[in-house]
Amino acid sequence: MLAGNILKSLRIAVAVAGSAVLVVMVIVSAHCFIRRRRSNPWMVLSAEEEVEITECSQFKISEIRAATNSFSEDSKIGEGGFRKVYRGKLENGKYIAVKRLERCSSQGQQHFKDEVAQLVRLQHKNLIKLHGYCLEEGERILILEFAPNGSLERFTSDSIKRVLLSWERRFSIIRGIARGLLYLHEDSCLNIIHSDLKPSNVLLDDNMNPRISDFGMTRLFDLDQSREKTAHPAGTFGYMAPQYVRHREISAKTDVYSFGVVVLEIVSGKKYSEHLLSDAWKNWRKGATFRLIDPMLNSSSSRSEMSRCIQIALLCVQENVGSRPTMASVVLMLGSQSTTLPMPTQPAYSTNASVGEMSTSSVSGLSTPSTNEAQDGSTSYMISLLID
């Protein structure tokens, strides 16, 4: 009897020890995998790891052709950066944005799969969603959510459409953009820097909710890395932080700067010019921010909220990178009127540091703002020279 009890106890001890070893092995393996992914965010996924790919729909090329009328010119709503964008309608009546990668692009199929695997992970109400992809017949196509109201630029640059943007709606758009950027920077599994935020890359759904789009200029950054350099800056003049243009330094504060410029456009109703920051700074210092506010916004009851947004925008466009707030701080400042705002310092490009002093020919991969930018209604394929 005693020998039997000892044997039973021994079996239990062995089983417990074995389970403990198994748990430790799982934890160690997971830790090693996470460290490996963080050290190389562009690491190619193996077949077993491509879970994200299977979680979105793989469309047939015949479905895409039917939805876009064989990629007709009438269906095309934008192009550029090695891709064309089409508005499509599926058999079930659902509208989609179809982003077709040009065959002449140097991007390979594996790069496309990695891109899809990353985009599927991004789930936020202020980001355009990825519905699926197509790889048939040599095509590389992304199928994305369609934004029926087009881009924010369509409203801010059109005096007739801008009437539809009440202050309440504009403020909601500002807060939505801020939350979307916060998700990209800190809350997503990829920690993404957009690097080309501008009104044409903010799309509006059927309820006028903002959806950040166009990750063609995206950079991934390690959680332990606050700043890095890129060999090929890419973006749009006026929305690019000076450190990005001059020294090719990119960080989350690059997007913070762009956000500040976009906020000033939304509040003022003026398209970006090199005088926008100067005017905002001068009027704020004089206590006359009302001069910057869009005349179409006649609600005096919201003037203090508008002025507060101008001050937050000025904090975002400060010359010194370290002085700019994080998007987490911006979201907090926008959400609480009782939060005391810091005093901004002089913004970049407000005096002798004019955007005009730096020509597009001096830096590759850059574009200038245009009223004819494509309103593609979707998140773009990451195909810029920035990640080649």
Of 78, 112, 145, which residue constitutes the final position of a domain? Answer: 145
Q: Quick one: which of 147, 131, 164 has its CA closest to 212?
A: 147
Of 93, 112, 145, which residue constitutes the final position of a domain? Answer: 145
Residue 311 lies in a domain: yes
Q: Is 159 in the same domain as 130?
A: no
Token pair recorded at residue 114: 């990695």
Q: Is the pLDDT of residue 29 over 60?
A: no
Predicted confidence band at 41 (pLDDT cuts at 50, 70, 90)?
Answer: very low
- Residue of 196, 214, 255, 376 marked catalytic: 196
Q: Is 227 in the same domain as 363?
A: yes
Q: Is 176 in the same domain as 316?
A: yes
Instruction: Decide: 101 and 82 in contact? Cβ < 8 Å.
Output: yes
**Distance, CA of 319 to CA of 176 (rounded, Å):** 25
Which pLDDT value is given to residue 274?
Answer: 74
Residue 7 lies in a domain: no
**Distance, CA of 18 to CA of 251 (rounded, Å):** 46
Q: Is 376 in the same domain as 231?
A: yes
Q: Quick one: which of 171, 215, 179 has its CA closest to 197?
A: 215
Residue of 359 and 77 predicted with greater confidence: 77
Residue 23 lies in a domain: no
3-state secondary structure of 115: helix
State which residues form the domain around 104.
52-145
Q: Is the pLDDT of residue 121 over 60?
A: yes
Of 145, 170, 197, which residue constitutes the final position of a domain? Answer: 145
Residue 96 has phi, psi (to 5 degrees) of: -135, 160
Q: Is 240 in the same domain as 296?
A: yes
Which pLDDT value is given to residue 196?
Answer: 87
Residue of 52 and 244 predicted with greater confidence: 244
The total number of structural domains that make up the chain: 2
Residue 39 lies in a domain: no
Q: Is 121 in the same domain as 157?
A: no
- Write out the H or E segment, with its range, that includes residue 304: helix 303-316
Q: Is 171 in the same domain as 290?
A: yes
Which pLDDT value is given to residue 262?
Answer: 98
- The mean pLDDT of the chain is 76
Residue 17 lies in a domain: no
Q: Is 217 in the same domain as 350?
A: yes
Say whether 158 is catalytic. Answer: no
Which pLDDT value is given to residue 148?
Answer: 92
3-state secondary structure of 52: helix
Q: pLDDT tens-digit profile of 58-79?
A: 899 999 999 999 999 999 988 7
Predicted confidence band at 283 (pLDDT cuts at 50, 70, 90)?
Answer: very high
Q: At 337, which CATH number?
A: 1.10.510.10
Q: Is 351 in the same domain as 373?
A: yes
Q: At 71, which CATH number?
A: 3.30.200.20
